[in-house]
Amino acid sequence: MRTLGVDLGRVRIGLAVADEILRTARAVTTVVRRGEAEDLAAIAEVARDYEVTRAVVGLPLNMDGTEGPSARLARGFAPRLEAALGVPVELFDERLSSFEAESRLRARGLSAREQRGQVDAEAAAVILQGWLDRRAP
């Protein structure tokens, strides 16, 4: 079974994939937002290519656990993504995922400019890895 990780941003959507047997998430691509129909179609294409059986959307909670506008955006997007993909979609707390993604990319020697095109997909991998780790027996 493969799972798609989604880091939903206002400008870009990061995507990652994990094979649940290997239990390791990896960044796949970043979709530049063009409108919801186009965004869903682009995500669905990646989901088909990787034959995913579920998706996990990052839920950007505030540090105190409350929900702000971005969390409401993710909550609204998740059911539409589920309908577009035809697979179950779960929400997962993504606090500090972008910070962790930037840290990982810096550790690989990427400059801030080089990170810009990769941080969203890497954040999706951080979210997805957290979800996998939480499900570990």
User: What pLDDT score does 62 carry?
Assistant: 85
Percentage of residues of the chain with pLDDT beyond 90: 61
Q: Which residues is 59 bridged to in the sheet?
A: 93
Q: What is the DSSP letter of 110?
A: -
Task: Report CA Rg, the chain.
Answer: 14
User: What pLDDT score does 67 carry?
Assistant: 87
Sequence-distant (6+) residues with CB within 8 A of 50 are: 2, 4, 17, 28
d(CA 19, CA 1): 6
Give how many domains the chain has, as a whole number: 1
**Token couple for 103:** 């840290």
Residues 6-32, mean pLDDT to the nearest whole number: 93
Q: What is the pTM of this model?
A: 0.88
- pLDDT at position 112 over 70: no
Domain ranges, residue 70: 2-135
Q: Which residues is 13 bridged to in the sheet?
A: 8, 31
User: What pLDDT score does 115 carry?
Assistant: 60
CATH number (domain holding residue 11): 3.30.420.140
Sequence-distant (6+) residues with CB within 8 A of 60 are: 68, 70, 71, 74, 94, 95
Residue 97 phi/psi, 5-degree rounding, is -65, -40
pLDDT tens string 38-82 = 999 999 999 999 999 999 999 998 888 888 898 999 999 999 999
**Token couple for 77:** 């997007």
Residue from 88, 90, 92 nearest 133 by CA: 92
Q: Which residue has the higher pLDDT, 23 or 85?
A: 85
